[in-house]
């Protein structure tokens, strides 16, 4: 085996990733080939990013068509792919305006800026934002601050101030942080409805409803980070739909671009005009190629596909739920965490050796396959995963 890629990676690439021993050469849909020609079933889809798998034909056609028109134009000019995508997102969500960036962290930075400016514009006494313990909101200095995990809060200080953290699914605990002397003492609450990196942990329906109503009644912005849960991943276009709420701000990225970098801050009625000319921006934000790809992705996430995602969720839970060594399965749609008796790390290594790429989330095995993974390939993967768990 030619080891040069592993050696050169170690020599020339910053050591920020604990990579699995797989060097990708090519792929199609949910199948990946490594440089030795070994075949893998991809149950991670680039961490919930390749929504329709690798090199999806329609998506590739959409981005190459845009590539031959123009690859980039400054945000000082009008660009049709961006406008088309923004209109589609607003139409599908009820949000009013979109700011485009390049990543999840950048989307959350935009949401945080919008929330702080809304508080400032409206003379609010506090610009504090409350997030949840165990959340993950990104790796910039501010989104690390927003992330409710102590493990991210050292080495890179001084961190951005103005964040506080409440345990998830505990309405009294968050209420205590939201109010002081009976008056609102924060600008916004920001949550992931299924905490992805935190271990695929779902927020309870009643908790979210109560929290949302509390925010609404007190003009506290309700921000939902749908960077991972969004774009069909959890079985609805956006996960908030399953909680019967309409947040003030929704952020997304990952699966939106289907494999190209694009993020979005979706702004509801209250904050639609909060960010004004010169207050925010991004050179590459809403890049025409990425926007054309994202338009293709979002326009194909229809009811039929979402029902398929829900059916595949039931299939995985039904099959893996009865495998000895599976303690429980958490998550929604095709964003699932499997708590196994065997350490997740070992299960993942066995899966990789057997030709299936799965991920971890804390102590769980995490599955994030492409939304359109064919049923026969999913079955093959589930059998291999089951054998790795029950090893």
Ligand X SMILES: Cc1ncc(COP(=O)(O)O)c(C=O)c1O
Question: Of these, 56, 185, 192, 248, which contacts ligand X (CB under 6 A)?
Answer: 192
Nearer to ligand X, 251 or 274 (CB): 251
* % helix, strand, coil for the chain, step of 5: 40, 20, 40
Residues 6+ apart with CB under 8 A from 203: 132, 168, 169, 191, 192, 193, 194, 195, 243
* C-beta neighbour count of 189 within 10 angstroms: 26
> What minimum distance in Å lies between the beta carbon of 165 and ligand X?
15
> What minimum distance in Å lies between the beta carbon of 78 and ligand X?
26
The CA distance from 189 to 5, in Å, is 44
Question: Of these, 89, 105, 297, 384, which contacts ligand X (CB under 6 A)?
Answer: 105
Q: Is 231 an interacting residue with respect to ligand X (CB under 6 A)?
A: no
How many chain residues interact with ligand X (CB under 6 A)? 14
Contact 178, 126 (CB under 8 A): no
Q: Is 197 an interacting residue with respect to ligand X (CB under 6 A)?
A: yes
Q: Is 104 an interacting residue with respect to ligand X (CB under 6 A)?
A: yes
Nearer to ligand X, 184 or 199 (CB): 199
Contact 71, 391 (CB under 8 A): no
> What minimum distance in Å lies between the beta carbon of 330 and ligand X?
15
Nearer to ligand X, 136 or 240 (CB): 136
Residues 6+ apart with CB under 8 A from 307: none
| Conformation bin of residue 97: beta by default, left when phi > 0, alpha when psi is -120 to 50 | beta
Question: Of these, 30, 79, 103, 252, which contacts ligand X (CB under 6 A)?
Answer: 103
Q: Is 250 an interacting residue with respect to ligand X (CB under 6 A)?
A: no
Q: Is 45 an interacting residue with respect to ligand X (CB under 6 A)?
A: no
Q: Is 148 an interacting residue with respect to ligand X (CB under 6 A)?
A: no
**Two tokens, residue 18:** 């604990």
- The contact set with ligand X (CB under 6 A) reads 103-105, 108, 136-138, 192, 196-197, 225, 227-228, 253
């Amino acid at each position: 085996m030619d080891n040069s890629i592993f050696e050169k990676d170690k020599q020339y690439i910053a050591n920020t990733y604990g990579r699995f021993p797989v060097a990708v050469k090519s792929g199609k849909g949910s199948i990946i080939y490594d440089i030795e020609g070994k075949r893998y079933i991809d149950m991670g889809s680039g961490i919930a990013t390749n929504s329709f798998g690798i090199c999806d034909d329609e998506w590739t056609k959409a981005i190459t068509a845009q590539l031959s028109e123009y690859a980039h134009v400054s945000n000082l000019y009008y660009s049709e792919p961006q406008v088309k995508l923004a209109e589609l997102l607003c139409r599908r969500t009820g949000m009013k305006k979109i700011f485009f960036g390049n990543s999840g962290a950048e989307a959350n930075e935009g949401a945080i800026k919008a929330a702080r400016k809304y508080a400032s514009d409206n003379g609010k006494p506090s610009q504090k934002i409350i997030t949840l313990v165990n959340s993950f909101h990104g790796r910039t200095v501010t989104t690390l601050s927003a992330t409710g995990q102590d493990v991210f809060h050292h080495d890179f200080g001084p961190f951005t101030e103005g964040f506080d953290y409440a345990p998830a699914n505990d309405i009294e605990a968050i209420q205590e942080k939201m109010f002081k002397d009976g008056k609102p003492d924060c600008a916004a609450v920001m949550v992931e409805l299924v905490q992805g990196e935190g271990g695929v942990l779902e927020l309870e329906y009643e908790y979210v409803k109560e929290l949302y109503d509390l925010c609404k009644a007190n003009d506290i912005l309700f921000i939902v980070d749908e960077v991972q849960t969004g774009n069909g991943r959890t079985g609805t276009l956006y996960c908030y739909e399953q909680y019967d709420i309409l947040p003030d701000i929704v952020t997304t990225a990952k699966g939106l671009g289907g494999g190209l970098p694009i993020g979005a801050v979706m702004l509801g009625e209250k904050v639609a005009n909060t960010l004004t000319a010169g207050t925010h921006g991004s050179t590459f934000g809403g890049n025409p190629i990425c926007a054309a790809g994202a338009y293709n992705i979002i326009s194909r996430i229809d009811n039929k596909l979402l029902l398929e995602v829900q059916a595949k969720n039931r299939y995985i839970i039904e099959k893996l739920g009865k495998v000895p060594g599976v303690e429980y399965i958490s998550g929604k749609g095709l964003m699932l965490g499997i708590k196994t008796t065997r350490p997740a790390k070992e299960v993942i290594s066995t899966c990789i050796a057997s030709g299936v790429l799965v991920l971890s989330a804390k102590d769980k095995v995490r599955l994030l396959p492409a939304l359109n993974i064919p049923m026969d390939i999913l079955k093959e993967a589930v059998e291999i995963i089951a054998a790795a768990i029950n090893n």
